[in-house]
Amino acid sequence: MSKEQAIHELYLLCKDINFDETIDMIKNAESIEERAFVRVVTDFFLQQKQKRVVAEKRF
């Protein structure tokens, strides 16, 4: 698998993150860097959802 394919697969996995599970993922991270990664990815997808909600005027 190429790096491009791996990144795409990672994107698809992250896109479906259950936000209720992120606290456990952060707690169980093996390093500070991994914790930061989970936070950044989670924040990104939350921001995308917020943009859709605002655009649809469902706030």
Provide the pLDDT for residue 13: 92
Provide the pLDDT for residue 59: 67
* Burial of residue 48, with CB atoms counted within 10 A of its CB: 0-12 exposed, 13-18 middle, 19 or more buried: exposed
Provide the pLDDT for residue 19: 86
pTM: 0.79
Q: pLDDT tens digit string along 6-59?
A: 999 999 999 988 889 999 999 999 999 999 999 999 999 999 999 999 999 886
